[in-house]
Chains A and B, each alone.
Chain A
Amino acid sequence: MSKRHFVNFLSHVKMNVDRVNEIVNGKVLFVSDPFLLYTSAFASDLMSDVLRYYMENTLLITGLCTLQAVRTAEISNISCIIFARGKRVSNDMLQLAKEYNIAIIESGLTMFEISGRLYQNGLKPIVD
């Protein structure tokens, strides 16, 4: 594949929750729609920054393991959260995620490594 074709191929990468989970070596706690495809990801522990950007088909990678991470995702139209650094999702958070149809993945990797792996596999950053 030529470099140009390869770049073109990367720009159209879409992946479902299972594929994302495989890449980040995680554990899926809840999935609402296994066929939903993601094209980009955003990593932040600051929820106000999550709220600053317009996101569609985007995953949230965060180490902030609170109810607010789930609520922020819902407000931002984010339908999948990866909790990094081995954070454990509480029952309350999981219940809320189910109510909002937000897929939940736990991963023992750091935000840096999760981001790096997903970027390498073709997910795109959010552009303001």
Chain B
Amino acid sequence: MKIEYHIEGGNFSAAGSASSEIKKILKQFNISPFLLRRIAVALYESEMNVVAHAYRGIMRVEIQPSGIRVVVEDEGPGIEDIEKAMEEGFSTATEEVRQMGFGAGMGLPNIKKNSDEMRLVSSPGEGTRLAFSVNF
């Protein structure tokens, strides 16, 4: 099963709706609440990253019997130093993002913690590609 969502940068009122939809779909499968939560958190943090930092993005989700594979590609400023971005507490988020309760430099570490495999590549000035998977 493949699902695709468009994410709009800067649209904070819609932020999280794609992740919520996917969570709803996953609930129909026989997945443990623990696993469901891990997936939902990773999806939500990656969606927030696009809303908070990029102009627009696409989230592609593939659900297979063995697990879920997610690719989030965005057009945006990209990440200068990926190693630094992966550090807990490092953030380049705006004041607006912080007022929404995010932007404390926990997003990427949260995605890593909740996924079985994560890959992040970025071209500064162009965009970022994040791929992660969670095994069932």
Interface residues of A, Cβ cutoff 8 Å to B: 45-49, 51-52, 54, 56, 62, 64, 66-69, 71-72, 74-77, 92, 100
Tell me whether A51 and B110 are in contact in the complex, defined as CB-CB below 8 angstroms, given that A66-B100, A72-B44, A76-B37 are known contacts. Answer: yes
Q: Which residues of A contact B33 (CB under 8 A)?
A: 56, 77
Interface residues of B, Cβ cutoff 8 Å to A: 12-13, 15-17, 19-20, 23, 33-34, 37, 40-41, 43-45, 99-102, 104, 106-107, 110, 113
List 13 other contacts, CB 8 Å, given A46-B104, A100-B20. Answer: A47-B102, A48-B45, A48-B110, A51-B44, A62-B101, A69-B101, A71-B15, A72-B44, A74-B16, A74-B23, A75-B40, A76-B37, A76-B41
Q: How many A-B residue pairs have CB under 8 A?
A: 70
Q: Which residues of A contact B13 (CB under 8 A)?
A: 67, 92
Q: Is the beta-carbon distance between B19 and A66 smaller than 8 angstroms?
A: no
A51 vs B108: C-alpha distance when bound (angstroms):
12
